[in-house]
Amino acid sequence: MTQQKYIFYYAILVAVIAHVLTFVGIYLGWFGIGIGNGAVFCEATRDAIIKQPANTFSNMAFMIAGLTAAYQLSKGKFSQYSNTLTQTIFFPTFLCFCIILLSPGSIALHATESEMGGYFDMLSMYLIAAIIFTFALKRYLKLGILSFIVAFASVLVVCHIFHFMPYELPIVHFAGNLIFGVFLVSGMIIEILHSRKKEVDIKSQWAVAASLTFIISFAIWLTGTNEHPWCRPYSLLQAHAISHILDALAVYFIFRLYVSENEKNL
């Protein structure tokens, strides 16, 4: 599509605005004072504007993933495929923006260790859940733009309802993590059902790659805590930072799954 050649420029604009606002907010204290939120993830708290440099700047991987996706779309790299992301302008632009916006949320947490930073970090997780669930639902049910927006917003609302539930849960710790997992698994199930449609041809190896990358990331994430024997607080090589980079790679693989689809009667 001719309009898609501008997606990369839109994505750059969003990336610049979002990150400039985030770092200005960190410098000016918009996120509040540090209370040790996120300090559990091994990296020592520095007496500086950026409290955890490795865990902070590793989130830029999400911005790179989003810009890479936008650049490839703008160059028509996937024009041989007929699907939502190659034949429309709203959905690919929306997806690239969401991927980019995963970055500043987690940056806010690890740079400030503040309560509000923790909220924005969880918001980035809810965005991942909303992307995976809603894009699967959109393609499975052939939702239009309005229905898609309503579904996407509904996922975020439900996530916020769970976010503020004052319950301590085993393994996942709190209800926000639980609903995050529920939407991820639900999205994967819908993807499987969608891929089995006769009129759908999709390269499922990208789904396998994304799933394996998420699993490896989670395994590494488990080692990135203060209690783990591998923890080295003052090292710039942090397990939690590596998990950020792998999560960004997994999200990019999900994008590749979407654009690999050929769907009849789109």
93-145: pLDDT as tens digits: 999 999 999 999 999 999 999 999 999 999 999 999 999 999 999 999 999 99
Q: What is the pLDDT of residue 48?
A: 92
Candidates 258, 213, 206, 245; CA nearest to 65 is 245
Q: Span 2-6, mean pLDDT? A: 80
What's the CA gap between 177 and 116, in Å, rounded?
17
Q: Span 249-264, mean pLDDT? A: 91
Residue type, 122: M
Q: What is the pLDDT of residue 195?
A: 84
> How many CA within 13 A on the CB side of residue 255?
29
Q: What is the mean pLDDT of the chain?
A: 91
pLDDT at residue 172 above 70? no
**Are 112 and 121 spatial neighbours (Cβ–Cβ below 8 Å)?**
no
State the sign of the Cα–Cα–Cα–Cα dihedral 57, 103, 207, 86: negative
What's the CA gap between 136 and 179, in Å, rounded?
17
Instruction: State the pTM of this model.
Output: 0.91
Distances (CA, A) of 125 to 34, 132, 171, 247: 21, 11, 17, 11
Per-residue confidence at 175, pLDDT binned at 50, 70, 90?
confident
Per-residue confidence at 31, pLDDT binned at 50, 70, 90?
very high
Q: What is the pLDDT of residue 199?
A: 77
Q: Note the pLDDT tens digit of each residue in 199-223.
A: 788 898 999 999 999 999 999 999 9
Per-residue confidence at 266, pLDDT binned at 50, 70, 90?
low
Q: Which string of DSSP letters, residue by residue, matches 167-188?
A: -EETTTEEHHHHHHHHHHHHHH
